[in-house]
Structure 1
């Protein structure tokens, strides 16, 4: 059952990255149901329009709009932030991510490994661009979506972009661990600076398409898919349920900066609960090294307003 805030999200503007499909879609749907104005940040605006149509079919009076967002292209971020057209932003959900399965290592226009660039570096730079808007909103929040996969990974600061040893699943898990390390380090730095913005880290557990309800025209789950997925439902859940920890982290005022939230049952399924992060997710030396490397690679720092748009 979706956690509701009693429409305490009325009047709030929230940006959700990667909101046109999967968990990001359900985050947007649930936030809209709680009264928020939701900006769907998506690389494909046609898919964003379909997501908006699907949400409006279920949420009467939903306040939604799309903005084009390509996290792999750092030079495009200033235009994205300008297109938001707002002076303040109550929260940003750093959800978008790419999982590549092919054996070939892929890079973006700046030569950054594509999963690390999209999942971590793009969000790192986006928060820097959004900083003035987040600062302008009282009790704003940065909610970073990590992954259960990050539990078993360790970050190698000397090989952040998998140049020496590229394995797709491992590189993906490390990119999600980088996000989580960033979220906890952002909390420490925000608190040290006396900022009003909170940084909260979440993960959706094990969320399967086959356990997720249909949302036409975005996707339709067949009866056969549902039946085949029933055994998996013992330990996993659908993407609509995976979104609940994220929505809770955005809206629950009792959740404070620096906390980690995920599903209750073995961290894989169930209602949201607070978790104790693994030591490698909060390691100060690793987080500090990652922050410094990310600032060097993107040319900006999330706690400093970017002076000029970054160029490829």
Structure 2
């Protein structure tokens, strides 16, 4: 359990799994900052959390991970003396076949889910250097392939594949960060998690953030044998954020087949265990974002 001074940032904390991560952290006594693109949605999420958690300490900071140029302002606006936990949760999955780009010209899924979090971590490092970075990946990343020669999906774009690759990139980032922390002798921790299979129809209502009808729940009952709601999908992130036994470089996911249940420790396999790709991805991410690749040992205060 956290002390009263624990401070946590949750990117994408206004909706989906991120909302439940924020709610559960607040219920455990942490002071939570929601990182959100939309101030109105952030305000709704804060209200929903405070309605369920008496005395919850929840604030928000505007955060658009797709816009690299805006991230320094967001980091500067984070009115906390330090961060004990950063849960890198926010992400996009595009609908429709059209490839889209961020203001900096990066493919939107990769640019938001991975590059935005990479740059944000560097910007926050002076306040995170003794805390925990919890990187949220996806069960689907296990079967993804990261093409280092085409990270931006310029040769062939398909939304689901781009999402899987971006999530794999996030997880490789988390493991590479852990290796760099070990090499630096740092007290900080980098932990990677995934939520398993989390469905809206199995997720309890949190109006106005999320509403579920009885009909939706009944239709989803068969799926509930192997999948779970987004409230349960938040458990690995909350466990990684708070449990004192967590160790650097670990991977946590749901207990049953990696799809549902309480968190369990997993062994990184396949593409997740590819340290050479993780190291090269780090170097390329630093080039694409303008971040100092050595920010773990030489903290930066902004993008170059």
Any gaps of 5 or more consecutive residues in structure 2?
none
Q: Distance in 2 between matches of 1:263 and 1:250?
A: 15
What SS is found at the alignment partner of 1:164?
coil
The question of 1:260 aligning with 2:260 is answered no
Q: Distance in 2 between matches of 1:185 and 1:157?
A: 15
Q: Distance in 2 between matches of 1:78 and 1:309?
A: 7
1:108-154 superposed Cα distances (whole Å, 9 cap, x missing partner): 1111000000000000000000100012x4xx100000001101101
Name 1:145's counterpart in structure 2: 136
1:251 paired residue among 239, 242, 247: 242
Tell me if structure 1 keeps the 8 A contact 2:123–2:302.
no
Q: Distance in 2 between matches of 1:308 and 1:68?
A: 17
Name 1:281's counterpart in structure 2: 272
Offset of 1:306 from its aligned partner?
3.0
Name 1:201's counterpart in structure 2: 192
Offset of 1:309 from its aligned partner?
3.9
2:20 paired residue among 7, 17, 26: 26
Q: Distance in 2 between matches of 1:187 and 1:282?
A: 12
**Cα 1:243/1:307, change in 2 over 3 Å:** closer
Tell me if structure 1 keeps the 8 A contact 2:126–2:301.
no
1:124 paired residue among 115, 118, 125: 118
RMSD (Å), alpha carbons: 1.0
The question of 1:102 aligning with 2:93 is answered no
TM-score of the superposed pair, with normalisation by structure 2: 0.97
Tell me if structure 1 keeps the 8 A contact 2:290–2:303.
no
Runs of at least 4 residues of structure 1 off by over 6 A? none
**Cα 1:9/1:269, change in 2 over 3 Å:** farther
Name 2:44's counterpart in structure 1: 50
Name 1:182's counterpart in structure 2: 173
Offset of 1:307 from its aligned partner?
5.4
Mean alpha-carbon deviation: is it higher for 257-266 or for 293-302?
293-302
Offset of 1:308 from its aligned partner?
4.4
Q: Distance in 1 between matches of 2:145 and 2:261?
A: 26
What SS is found at the alignment partner of 1:159?
coil
Mean alpha-carbon deviation: is it higher for 171-180 or for 301-310?
301-310
Name 1:73's counterpart in structure 2: 67
Q: Distance in 2 between matches of 1:179 and 1:53?
A: 30
Tell me if structure 1 keeps the 8 A contact 2:17–2:233.
yes
Tell me if structure 1 keeps the 8 A contact 2:141–2:164.
yes
What SS is found at the alignment partner of 2:268?
coil
Any gaps of 5 or more consecutive residues in structure 1?
none
Q: Distance in 1 between matches of 2:210 and 2:19?
A: 11
Q: Distance in 2 between matches of 1:199 and 1:152?
A: 22
Tell me if structure 2 keeps the 8 A contact 1:9–1:31.
no
The question of 1:156 aligning with 2:147 is answered yes
Q: Distance in 1 between matches of 2:190 and 2:30?
A: 19
TM-score of the superposed pair, with normalisation by structure 1: 0.95
Name 1:82's counterpart in structure 2: 76
The question of 1:17 aligning with 2:17 is answered no
Tell me if structure 2 keeps the 8 A contact 1:99–1:172.
yes
**Cα 1:258/1:212, change in 2 over 3 Å:** same
Offset of 1:282 from its aligned partner?
2.3
**Cα 1:307/1:15, change in 2 over 3 Å:** closer
Name 1:60's counterpart in structure 2: 54
Q: Distance in 1 between matches of 2:188 and 2:207?
A: 36
1:134 paired residue among 125, 128, 133: 128
